[in-house]
Structures are given as C-alpha cells and as structure tokens.
C-alpha cells in the first residue's frame, strides 16, 4: 500500500500517521519528492481502512499494491533509481545514465584481459567484464581461473581505471570479491535465495541476470530478496530466455526492457551476447535493446574469438565492438526519450514531481538521496 501526502502537509500530522501505522505492525518507508511525499507501507495491510486514511487532511490518495514485490515496485518509487558505480568518474546506471560493459567471457591471461580492457575502453566501454568463476553446463568445460582470474581482472583495472564486473557462484567466494566493483549474479543463480540474502547485506552494486526460463515477476522477486536486506543497488539484466527456438542460443526478450520500466524503478541492461550466442546477431540486438530504452549493454569481446576458451562464437572482436558502440551512440538520443516517457506514463503519480533516487555508500551504509537530501529506503 502507498499513501500519497498532499503538498505542504503538516509534519506533526504526518508523524502521528506514521506512528499509528507502525503501532499496527506496519513498516513505513518515506520517499521524498519536490511537491509530494509517498509513504510505502510494508506488512499486512489487509486490516487497514483505506477510506479512513483518505479522510485525513494531509492525505491526497491511497493505493493498494497487489504485486508481491514492494521495494522493487515503481508504485513505491515513481522515479528511476540511479546506481552509482564510481562517483569520482561519474559512472552511473539508470535515470538516463547509460553504460556499456565489455570484456571477455573468461579471463585467460594477463595479456589477454589487459589488452581487451584497453581496446574496449578506447571504443567507449566504461566498465570491464570478465569471468573468473565460470558456471558451465559440462563439468569437463573450462571452469575459469577462479581466484587467479580475479587477480588478473584487478591488474586490468589498475591499468585502465575501469571498474570491474564479475560473477559470483557461491557464498564461500564472497571474501574474494572485496575489490570487485559490481558483483554479477548469473542466470543459473537468480533464485539462489541464500546467496541473494547475503548480497543484500553488503554495500556493492549487484548485477542480477534473468534466469533461463524466469518470468519478469520472478526476476523482480529475486531483486526483492537483495533489497529486503538493505542493499538497494540492484541492476537487472535481460540476457535472453529459453524458448522452442534452436537457431539462437536463447531468445532475447526485448519487450522486457519497457515492461520492467513499467513495473519497477530499477535500471535494466541487456546482454545481446548470451541472448543470441551468435556474434553477427550481437550488433542488431544491441541496437534493438538501446532503442527499447535499456540503461546499458553488457557485451563479450575477445581478441581471438576462434581460440577463446569460452563462448568464442558469440564474442566480438575489438574492431567489431567499436562499430557497435558507434551505432549505439547514434541511437541513444532517441531511445532515452522513449524510455523516459514510458517510466513516467505507466505509474500512478504523473502529477508528482520527483528526481531520480541515487544510492551510494556512506560510512558502510546504503544511503538514498533526492534533491540533495537523505531519504529513507523502502
């Protein structure tokens, strides 16, 4: 349930309302806007009389939220969340901030990952991806360099200054990820709830990939697990889903981008590499995702795809990646306007004035800011 307060409401009346709701066992989260304040109610609200609350002088409207996800729901937070990756370098995702993440599927050597990092950075990528721990269908396939792979990624970061994105597979690996900028949860772990719970207690951005055959609601419920622990820095990723089609590795659900922007305030990026499994299809799918309003792309790039230890057929050469980036940049000015209108048009608060929420780490805690003020997480 959300309670929308009138502009210039009485603070004492608001406090009395919040205290009364909390006395009923309801957790109240406040989202502060320029003209309106939204109170998000989490808990069993079935016994609350909506008409009674509506009758209060300070209340403009009350709406029930039927969806099981609350923190991730756009009805709780009408404006886009902005996840800050590197504040000093102004690397952010969401709310009009678009980033391209690129790098090899698997880290193979220092020369390989550092060379690719320099190449993709020159083309316009702002974050470096690379797999150290690799979940593979076959137990006989290359499983990654593991801890050594993380060390090589950090060497590439030291060389280029690019924040790194890499996948975690198990809770036992978490201590190794202290210096990782964005922790990726892969498709196979999207519903590893114990892992998600633990990631909810750390203060790092989490890139959450959609499961192989998961619905959008299941994706958002997985995000809810992380956010329920206090970590609001969640980035969603559409990476293709399994259908009856066998020509491509997966089927890219481009409609997931505007759909997620309708349902949630969280940023969503697209992985056209895993979605298609075919390098020649990465470019058109990257263009389609950008046009649909994605907040970023994550693309696999390899200096020698034919001899890659993992996913060579879907990897672009640095030259091909450079061409993709140029095309994406030409589409972006048009795509963002479409995404912005969608996100504002499908929520119930068109008359409310908000700015994007920015989550950052302050003294070890996740802090949400709006209009230069500290807001409460919800």
Q: Within a domain: residue 75?
A: no
Report how far apart, in Å, the C-alpha atoms of 338 and of each of 261, 293, 326, 346 are: 11, 7, 20, 12
Q: Which two tokens stand for residue 15?
A: 């406090």
**Distance separating alpha carbons of residues 187 and 179, to the nearest angstrom:** 23
H or E element, residue 22: helix 11-23
Cα–Cα dist 260/285, whole Å? 18
CA distance 170 to 151: 18
Question: Which CATH number is 299's domain given?
Answer: 3.20.20.70
Q: Which residues of 251-274 are buried (b: 16+ CB within 10 A; e: fewer)?
A: ebbbebbbbbbebbbbbbbbbbbb
Residue 217's φ and ψ, nearest 5 degrees, are -65, -40
pLDDT of 47 reads: 84
Query: Side-chain half-sphere of 280: how many Cα atoms within 13 Å?
Result: 2
Averages of pLDDT over runs of 10 residues in the chain (378 residues) are 88 92 88 77 85 92 87 87 96 96 96 98 98 88 91 97 97 95 97 97 97 97 95 97 96 96 95 97 98 97 94 96 98 69 43 43 48 36
Nearest-angstrom CA–CA distance, 43 and 45: 6
Nearest residue to 270 via CA among 215, 311, 334, 328: 328
Whole-number pLDDT of residue 351 = 38
**Cα angle for residues 40, 43, 44 (degrees, 5° grid):** 120
Considering the domain boundaries, does residue 252 fall inside one?
yes
| Residue 10 resides in a domain | no
Residue identified by tokens 């756009």 is 74
Q: Measuring CA to CA, which residue among 105, 108, 102, 207 is closest to residue 149?
A: 108
Classify each residue of 221-240 as buried b or exposed e, where b means 16 or more C-beta atoms within 10 Å of its C-beta.
Answer: bbbbbbbbbebbbbbbbbbb
CA-to-CA dists, residue 159 to 56, 108, 151, 155, 326, angstroms: 59, 17, 13, 6, 24
d(CA 177, CA 25): 37
Specify if 175 maps to a domain: yes
Q: What are 121's two structure tokens?
A: 């950075």
d(CA 197, CA 212): 20
Q: Is residue 169 part of a domain?
A: yes
Q: Kindly state whether residue 350 falls inside one of the protein's structural domains.
A: no
Which among 108, 125, 115, 105 is positioned nearest to 156, based on CA atoms?
A: 115
Residues 340-373 as b or e (16 or more Cβ within 10 Å = b):
eebbbebbebeebebbbbbbbbeeeebbbbbeee
**Distance between first and last Cα of the chain:** 12
- By the 8 A CB rule, do 49 and 199 touch? no
In a domain, 337, yes or no: yes
Q: At what angle do helices 256-263 and 318-345 cross, to 10 degrees?
A: 40
- Domain tally for the chain? 1
What residues make up the domain containing 152? Answer: 81-343
| 49 located within any domain | no
Residue 302, pLDDT score: 97
Residues 6+ apart with CB under 8 A from 286: 270, 272, 297, 299, 324, 327, 328
Predicted structure pTM score: 0.83
């Amino acid at each position: 349930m959300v309670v929308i307060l009138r502009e210039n409401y009485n603070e004492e009346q608001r406090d009395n309302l919040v205290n009364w709701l909390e006395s009923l066992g309801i957790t109240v989260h406040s989202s502060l806007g320029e003209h309106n304040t939204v109170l998000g109610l989490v808990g069993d609200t079935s016994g609350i009389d909506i008409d009674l609350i509506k009758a209060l002088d300070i209340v403009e409207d009350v709406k029930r939220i039927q969806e099981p996800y609350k923190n991730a729901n756009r009805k709780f937070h009408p404006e886009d969340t902005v996840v800050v990756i590197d504040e000093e370098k102004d690397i952010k995702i969401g709310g009009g901030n678009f980033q391209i993440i690129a790098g090899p599927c698997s880290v193979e050597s220092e020369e390989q990952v550092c060379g690719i990092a320099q190449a993709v950075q020159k083309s316009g990528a702002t974050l470096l991806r690379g797999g150290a721990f690799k979940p593979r269908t076959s137990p006989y396939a290359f499983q990654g360099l593991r801890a050594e792979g993380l060390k090589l990624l950090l060497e590439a970061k030291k060389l280029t200054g690019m924040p790194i994105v890499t996948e975690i597979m198990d809770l036992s690996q978490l201590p190794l990820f202290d210096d990782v900028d964005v922790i990726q949860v892969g498709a196979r772990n999207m519903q590893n709830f114990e892992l998600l719970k633990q990631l909810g207690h750390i203060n790092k951005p989490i890139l959450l990939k959609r499961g192989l055959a998961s619905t959008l609601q299941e994706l958002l419920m997985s995000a809810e697990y992380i956010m329920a622990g206090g970590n609001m820095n969640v980035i969603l990723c559409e990476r293709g889903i399994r259908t009856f089609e066998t020509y491509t590795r997966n089927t890219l659900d481009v409609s997931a981008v505007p759909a997620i922007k309708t349902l949630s305030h969280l940023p969503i990026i697209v992985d056209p590499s895993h979605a298609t499994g075919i390098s020649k299809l990465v470019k058109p799918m990257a263009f389609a995702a950008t046009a649909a309003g994605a907040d970023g792309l994550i693309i696999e790039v390899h200096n020698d795809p034919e001899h890659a230890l993992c996913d060579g057929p879907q990897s672009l050469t640095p030259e091909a990646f450079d061409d993709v980036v140029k095309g994406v940049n030409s589409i972006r000015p048009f795509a963002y306007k479409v995404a912005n209108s969608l996100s504002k048009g499908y929520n119930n608060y068109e008359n409310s004035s908000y700015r994007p929420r920015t989550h950052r780490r302050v003294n070890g805690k996740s802090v949400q800011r709006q209009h230069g003020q500290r807001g409460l997480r919800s």
